[in-house]
Structure 1
Amino acid sequence: MAPLTIYYVAIGDNGASGPLIGCGDSLVATHTEPVRFTDQVGPSIRTLLANKSRTIGMSGLVNVLSQSNLVYEGGELDGSTITINLSGQFSLGGVCDIPRAKAQLEFTAMTAAGATSARVFVNGRPIDDVLSLK
């Protein structure tokens, strides 16, 4: 048993609390209560996607994925790259939520897998294509 690491966004934090992402925001690691798992990636991504609250307690952190309807379908670690497959659709609040959503998913998956890079696919398409405004 161990806690899962889930990433949320500190809006306007400019990298002070974690990696700088998006529109001058920070990505901040949070930890769940200890849970039992064999593969940490699935439980971590499912925990992130299951949180339907935009604000994370009194922390000031934000979950931009809270309104999205996404399901974790599986993941695979290949060397130092974790690939996760999701189905469903994003429901984001604006252009700044695109890098926030991508970072929340990628960092949560990388930390869970002990990987240094992440590839996220939604309905079989790369996340960058799915979230593209083009």
Structure 2
Amino acid sequence: MAITGSTPAAAPPSLTPVPQPQNAAPPGTSAPPSPPDGAGDRDNPDDADAHGTGTPAPSGQGGSLPATEPSPSDPAPQSPAAGSPGPATGDRIAAATVTAYYVLLDDGGKHGVRFGCNDSLVGFAQESRAGEEPLAAAIGALLNAPQQAVHSAGGATAYNALSESRLKFLAGSFDGTTVTVYLTGVLRPGGTCDVPRMEAQLTQTALASVGAIRAEIYVNGRTLTEALTLG
């Protein structure tokens, strides 16, 4: 039931009962605590008891509204709006993207930097966990990448020379010029041409992750060149 339908049309705007005018009391006497005229007929005491304060009770309720009910003129209590915004969109951190480098075999530099056995070095975008350091994320993506990936240039299949190795990223640092990477595990080249491929993939992935111009990579405490020679 709507609220406006439950209040008589003649009701005052305030929800607090408003006393009606009374006859003046005789001089020297105090006014009797009788209800306003018409509310408590002396010939009908039951009528006075039934009406109490003289304010009609709204239909559907057992009596008059309590005196503590706020007046319509009082400011309404503040509550969150139905359409109030939640957390800022910027707080929802999306997954970052890093670049891991693969090899296009015998590509001759057509789709990337030519090196080694007439191969090309090409980058692949990889997703990383939100908040992860770029260097750790990029090297981790390369070490965990599958052996092959399809390059966007003509659908050529790129090769990951590190796919058979078992390497783990330990730590890394960047001083503004040189990026240093420490790995542990086993290097497993698949042939002579895999040696320059592994070196190029690790070096370029590390450089690109932080924007360095020089990379120093260590495997089990040895330089990458020494580790590849021993492997």
Same fold? TM cut 0.5: yes
Aligned to 1:122: 219
Provide the secondary structure at the position in 2 that maps to 1:105: helix
Quote the residue 2:173 is aligned against.
76
Q: Which residue of 1 aligns with 2:209?
A: 112
Displacement after TM superposition at 1:75 (Å): 0.5
Q: Any unmatched runs of 5+ in structure 2?
A: 1-94
Considering fraction of residues, name the structure with more strand: 1
Larger radius of gyration: 2
Flag structure 1 segments of 5+ consecutive residues without an equivalent.
none
Which deviations, in whole Å up to 9, do the C-alpha atoms of 1:90-110 show, x marking residues without a partner?
Answer: 111111000100111111111
TM-score scaled by structure 1?
A: 0.91
CA separation in 1, counterparts of 2:127 and 2:181? 23
Give the distance between the partners of 2:191 and 2:110, measured in 1 at CA. Answer: 23
Conservation of the 8 A alpha-carbon contact between 2:128 and 2:137: no
Give the superposition deviation at 1:133: 6.1
Instruction: Figure out how many residues of one structure are paired with residues of the other and give that number.
Output: 133
Q: Distance in 1 between matches of 2:105 and 2:186?
A: 23
1:22 equivalent to 2:116? Answer yes
- How far 1:80 sits from its partner (Å)? 1.1
Q: Aligned match of 1:8 in 90, 99, 102?
A: 102
Within the candidate set 173, 179, 195, 1:98 is matched to: 195
Q: Following TM superposition, by how much is the alpha carbon of 1:33 offset from its aligned partner in structure 2, in angstroms?
A: 3.5
CA contact (8 A) 2:147 2:159 kept: yes
In structure 1, C-alpha distance between the alignment counterparts of 2:128 and 2:135, rounded to whole Å: 14
Q: CA RMSD in A?
A: 1.7
**Given the two structures, how large is their TM-score scaled by the length of structure 2?**
0.54
Contact 1:9 1:61 in 2 (8 A): yes
